[in-house]
Amino acid sequence: MAHVTFSPPYTTPEQAAQALRDVGYAVLRPEDVAAWIGTDLSELEALNADWKDLPPDDFLKDGGRYRRRRHSCFVVEGGAVCQVPHRAHWQPVEYNALHGGMQRWFAPMLDATVARPAWQRLLAALAKVSDTVFAPGGGPVPWFLEAHQFRIDTTDGIGRPTPEGAHRDGVDLVAVFLVGREGVKGGETRVFEATGPNGQRFTLTEPWSVLLLDDARMIHETTPIQPAAPGGCRDTLVVTCRQGAFQGAE
């Protein structure tokens, strides 16, 4: 049977904040992502090489070896981006039944990655839309951002981008950037209302397209990937924005 995919419901950068308010999510094309951030698409694509040497994720409770990642944390306020000392990633079990309640120490992102102007602008843009949607009228507030570089591979036959299943992250904004995919099938993105019947399914295929989510309103997951060619993998960047503090720091 042919593998069926559905195209993302793209919107424009100008409509992204309103889409987050109206339906709880927005999807932007790569060229619109670059324009929204204020950089060239080539500058974002220059980050891609930093996904080639991600260390293994040693915390997978399903025993899998399909995920590699790096993780770093930042505070952004009024466009100023500050990387904080390296810290563990922590989620409550209410949001991650599989890996919640664990202090997971992942390797930090490379200094060369976070020093790139495109990286700084990307984080500033996410904080700005968070100001607009989640803190309107009050001016810029501090946003606590966690950035995760993921590579899901198919070396063992199947890779699970979201082994915890459909979930929320316990933050305000979730941004899922597709960095690239090669030699895989599957990896369908699914978003659902947390308290309603509506949902959407589509496949991100264009490098540096992004899904923005109102985490309080939407549940999300990505279906497993399988190899379509030897060495198949899917690279993503997930950035979460949260007011008040990092999870586990209250």
Q: How many domains does the chain have?
A: 1
Overall average pLDDT of the 130-154 stretch = 93
Averaged confidence pLDDT in the chain: 93
pLDDT computed for residue 249 by the predictor: 66
More confident residue, 61 or 52: 52
Do 237 and 230 contact (CB within 8 A), yes or no? no
pLDDT on residue 1: 46
pLDDT surpassing 90 at residue 61: no
Handedness of CA 125, 91, 161, 50 (dihedral sign): positive
Tell me the CATH number at 21.
2.60.120.620
Looking at the domain assignment, is residue 110 inside a domain?
yes
Q: Residue 26: is its pLDDT beyond 70?
A: yes
Q: Is residue 222 part of a domain?
A: yes
| 52-61 long-range contacts, CB within 8 A, separation 24+ | 54/107, 54/149, 54/150, 54/151, 55/106, 55/107, 57/106, 59/99, 59/102, 59/104, 60/99, 60/163, 61/98, 61/99, 61/163
Say if 76 falls within a structural domain.
Answer: yes
Whether the predicted pLDDT of 183 surpasses 80: yes
**What's the confidence (pLDDT) of residue 94?**
73
pLDDT tens sequence across 62-92: 878 999 999 999 999 999 999 999 999 887 7
Over range 155-173, report the average pLDDT: 91
pLDDT at 196: 92
Does any domain span residue 134?
A: yes
Q: Does residue 149 belong to any structural domain of this protein?
A: yes
Residue 34 domain flag: yes
pLDDT of 98 higher than 60? no
What's the pLDDT at 71? 98
Q: pLDDT band at residue 51, thresholds of 50, 70 and 90?
A: very high
Q: What is the DSSP letter of 212?
A: E
Q: What is the pLDDT of residue 5?
A: 85
pLDDT tens-digit series, residues 106-117: 999 999 999 999
The answer to whether residue 7 sits within a structural domain is: no
Note whether residue 3 is domain-resident: no
191-208 pLDDT tens trace: 999 999 999 999 999 999
Can you give the length of the chain in residues?
Answer: 250
Other Cβ atoms less than 10 A from the Cβ of 192: the count is: 18
Which tokens hold the place of 16?
């992204």
Domain that holds residue 59: 13-243
